[in-house]
């Protein structure tokens, strides 16, 4: 249950300041927040140092926000998390959704820094601002599952499914959590719904194949694993599906040998 950080998507959620008149930003490292965030998305190492200089030039809260996002985008989790929280508290004139997003990113950074209590606190603050935000709930569910807090992850995913019943990823993540908890009947219901919403989802097909194999339904398990290789070629799911197919072939070959021995 992991999700890669998408720099473009992250930057797009942060409000941009209006450009200043040319005379007002003459000599400044950046004319406005937008320019610094664009730099952070492309070259976070350079943007961080430049944003520090911009802060000394009077860039203020915008410069500190740019530093926080630069730290996040270059993977300095322990420095990024408190910086993001500080920006969310400082930027009181920004929209509630954008401040909640910063707190959610702080939660992700704390999770990657292996600080679960701080992550829970950050996600909690984000959801205090936006209690029905399905993306924040999904992010916290993924973080909780990563810490093996599967029941808590399922609680978040239950809310997502209620709020956004057509979100295939939520059904799949809940299916995976149920499977880890050995609740395979519930897992099968969830993964079937995920595949109804997203029939070509390789991870969902892999999981359904695994669930079918666990019920000794080798024929349909094999069909699912073969489908994974077709629709998700080159992915980790496809590699696991191939391993499962090879293991199934070996097991079936061994069964045939045992039958022949008995016949003799």
- Residue 185 CB neighbour total at 10 angstroms: 9
What's the confidence (pLDDT) of residue 182? 97
Give the CATH number of the domain where residue 42 resides. Answer: 1.25.40
With a cut of 60, say whether residue 2 has pLDDT above it: no
- Residue 11 CB neighbour total at 10 angstroms: 17
What's the confidence (pLDDT) of residue 118? 97
Inter-residue contact 106 to 68 (CB < 8 Å) = no
Find the domain containing 9 and state its range: 1-131
Q: Is residue 126 situated within a structural domain?
A: yes
Place of tokens 């004139």: 93
For the whole model, what pTM was predicted?
A: 0.85
Q: Is residue 122 situated within a structural domain?
A: yes
Q: Is residue 181 situated within a structural domain?
A: no
With a cut of 60, say whether residue 251 has pLDDT above it: yes
Of 145, 172, 140, 167, the residue nearest 156 (C-alpha): 140
Q: Is residue 249 situated within a structural domain?
A: no
Q: Is residue 183 situated within a structural domain?
A: no
With a cut of 50, say whether residue 179 has pLDDT above it: yes
* CA R_g for the chain: 24
Distances (CA, A) of 215 to 92, 218, 219, 258: 55, 8, 11, 22
The number of domains in the chain is: 1
Helix (H), strand (E) at residue 116: helix 116-129
Q: Is residue 36 situated within a structural domain?
A: yes
Q: Is residue 218 situated within a structural domain?
A: no
- Residue 253 CB neighbour total at 10 angstroms: 10
Q: Is residue 114 situated within a structural domain?
A: yes
Place of tokens 């072939």: 249
Of 117, 114, 143, 138, the residue nearest 127 (C-alpha): 138
With a cut of 50, say whether residue 23 has pLDDT above it: no
């Amino acid at each position: 249950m992991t999700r890669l950080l998408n720099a473009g998507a992250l930057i797009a959620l942060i409000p941009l300041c209006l450009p200043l008149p040319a005379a007002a930003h003459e000599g400044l490292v950046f004319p406005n927040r937008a320019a610094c965030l664009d730099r952070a998305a492309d070259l976070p190492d350079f943007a961080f140092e430049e944003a520090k200089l911009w802060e000394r030039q009077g860039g203020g809260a915008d410069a500190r926000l740019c530093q926080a996002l630069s730290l996040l985008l270059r993977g300095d989790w322990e420095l990024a998390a408190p910086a993001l929280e500080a920006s969310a508290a400082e930027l009181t004139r920004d929209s509630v959704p954008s401040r909640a997003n910063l707190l959610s990113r702080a939660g992700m950074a704390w999770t990657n820094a292996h600080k679960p209590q701080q992550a829970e606190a950050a996600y909690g603050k984000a959801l205090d601002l936006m209690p029905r935000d399905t993306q924040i709930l999904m992010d916290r569910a993924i973080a909780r599952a990563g810490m093996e807090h599967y029941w808590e992850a399922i609680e978040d995913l239950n809310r997502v499914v209620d709020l956004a019943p057509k979100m295939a990823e939520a059904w799949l993540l809940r299916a995976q959590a149920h499977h880890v908890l050995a609740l395979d009947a519930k897992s099968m219901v969830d993964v079937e719904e995920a595949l109804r919403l997203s029939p070509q989802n390789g991870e969902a097909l892999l999981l359904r194949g695994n669930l079918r194999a666990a019920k000794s339904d080798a024929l349909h398990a094999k069909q699912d694993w073969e489908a994974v290789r077709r629709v998700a070629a080159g992915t980790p799911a496809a590699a696991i599906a191939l391993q499962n197919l090879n293991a199934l072939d070996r097991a079936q070959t061994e069964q045939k040998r045992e039958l022949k021995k008995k016949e003799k």
